């Protein structure tokens, strides 16, 4: 997330733009850390800096998988150990018209790695299934642009015909 926020949109892949768009719709003040890693395993990479009046909330453990992006009903879905990513997409209402289905990724909760979605990849509790979306097409704008090009070509043809007479 931090790496993407520091990039210009032109320097990002369409997949990264879509992911950043989805993630920034959430609560930007929310910070998540793994206290078990920090305190029990002394892994300081899970350490965070706290400020005066910060609040630490330890939520009830909910066994879910988060499905986001180009699905009709993004959100948390109950973890089912035998399910693959396609079954989670189905319960999330399926792919939207703007979804880039072949770009679907599974974001591993433990490593943060982005994995290409394949049916044999095990989905674990807390994993995220992310479906990037294409930008919607403004057909009216495309029509106007096409009409402009056709008008310019017609004007050039008319000038050439008039000059050649």
Comparing C-alpha atoms, which of 33, 19, 34, 142 is closest to residue 69? 19
Q: Residues 16-52: pLDDT tens digits?
A: 777 777 666 655 566 777 788 888 998 888 788 888 9
Q: What is the pLDDT of residue 102?
A: 92
Q: What is the mean pLDDT of each run of 10 residues along the chain (165 residues)?
A: 74 76 65 80 85 80 88 94 95 95 90 86 92 86 92 92 85
Boundaries of every domain in the chain: 2-134, 138-165
- 64 neighbors 81 (Cβ within 8 angstroms): no
Q: How far, in Å, CA of 64 to CA of 124, rounded?
A: 9
Q: What is the pLDDT of residue 30?
A: 67
Q: What is the pLDDT of residue 20?
A: 74
CATH number of 2-134: 3.10.560.10
- 98 neighbors 133 (Cβ within 8 angstroms): yes
pTM, rounded to two decimals: 0.56
Between the CA of residue 124 and those of 30, 77, 85, 88, what are the distances in Å? 22, 12, 10, 12
Q: What is the pLDDT of residue 50?
A: 86
Q: What is the pLDDT of residue 157?
A: 92
Q: How far, in Å, CA of 48 to CA of 33, rounded?
A: 7
- Give exposure, 56-93, as e/b (b: 16+ Cβ within 10 Å): eeeeeeeeebbbbbbbeebeebebeeebbbeebbebbe
Q: What is the pLDDT of residue 43?
A: 87
């Amino acid at each position: 997330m931090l790496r993407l926020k520091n990039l210009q949109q032109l320097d990002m892949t369409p997949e990264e733009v879509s992911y950043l768009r989805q993630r920034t719709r959430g609560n930007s003040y929310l910070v998540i850390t793994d206290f078990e890693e920090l305190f029990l395993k002394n892994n300081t990479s899970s350490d965070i800096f706290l400020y005066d009046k910060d609040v630490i909330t330890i939520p009830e453990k909910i066994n879910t998988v988060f499905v986001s992006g180009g699905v009709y009903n993004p959100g948390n879905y109950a973890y089912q150990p035998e399910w693959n990513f396609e079954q989670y997409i189905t319960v999330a209402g399926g792919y939207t018209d703007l979804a880039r289905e072949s770009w679907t990724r599974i974001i591993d909760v433990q490593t943060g790695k982005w994995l290409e979605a394949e049916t044999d990849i095990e989905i674990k509790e807390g994993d995220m299934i992310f479906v990037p979306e294409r930008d919607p097409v403004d057909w009216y704008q495309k029509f106007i642009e096409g009409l402009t090009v056709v008008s310019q070509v017609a004007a050039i043809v008319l000038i050439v015909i008039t000059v050649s007479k």
